[in-house]
Amino acid sequence: MILACGLLHYPRKLPILDALDWKKVHYKVPRINDYHDDHVLIVGGGDSALDAAVMALQRNARVDVVVREETPIGKADTVGRVKELGGSVRTSVEVTEAVLQDGRVNTILTDGTCLSSEMAIVQIGFLSAKETFERLAIRLNDDSSIAIDPYFETSRPGIFAVGDVHGDIKLVTVAWAEGIQAAIYAFKEITSPYWLNEKRLRDHKLVMIGEKITSAATKPSRS
């Protein structure tokens, strides 16, 4: 098996808005035509949130950007562009309450401000699919990506991983090349007898060297 499924990250949900079960709460930036003349609430201070704000403002939407941090983490020039287009950037606040009323959502912020909007876009980061990988019983890196050896094989024999999923260089061309190499190694793993398998020979030699070193270190010295 060769895993080439990308990062498998999914948007982090905002429970207060998610509980509304409202079809106009978006965790991916919706189609650009959906912004026209609406009042749009955008939660998040990163580049994706700010870019969504700019696109909405360019289509005559009224925009409030709600940022938990004291300063948005997105590009400063994009923040400036949002303000230049007439958008409001509210920092050091969070959504504490949300109620649907007449096709709009009324949200209350931690500073007591009440906002009424016809659409909400939430861009507050992503969660990795760590649990999915853990069910495969394979070793993970600290960032929840899959750990691999030089042959692109995971800690579970017969399962290989290529591309962004193992958290190394995130480029399409690199992933293509890794896929070819992993396929070659997987083919060797399947077709070669153990005494001709390059990886197994290498690992066996390392084990033998390790055993010799351990034996030498524990052997009592002669006085």
pLDDT, tens digit (0-9, with 9 covering 90-100), for 50-63: 999 999 999 889 99
Contact criterion met (CB below 8 Å) for 120 and 35: no
In percent, how much of the chain has pLDDT > 70? 83
Flag whether 5 is in a domain: no
- What pLDDT, on a 0 to 100 scale, did the predictor assign at position 6? 79
Q: What does the block give as tokens for 133?
A: 């990988």
On whether residue 176 sits in a domain, the answer given is yes
What number of CA atoms fall less than 13 Å from residue 221's CA on the CB side?
Answer: 2
Q: What is the pTM of this model?
A: 0.61
pLDDT (tens digit per residue) in 158-180: 899 998 888 767 778 888 899 99
Cα separation, 87 vs 56, in Å, equals: 9
CATH of residue 62: 3.50.50.60
Instruction: Note whether residue 135 is domain-resident.
Output: yes
50 with 81, same domain: the answer is yes
For the chain, the C-alpha Rg in angstroms (whole number) is 26
pLDDT for the residue 103: 86
Higher pLDDT, residue 208 or 159: 159
- 17 pLDDT more than 60: yes
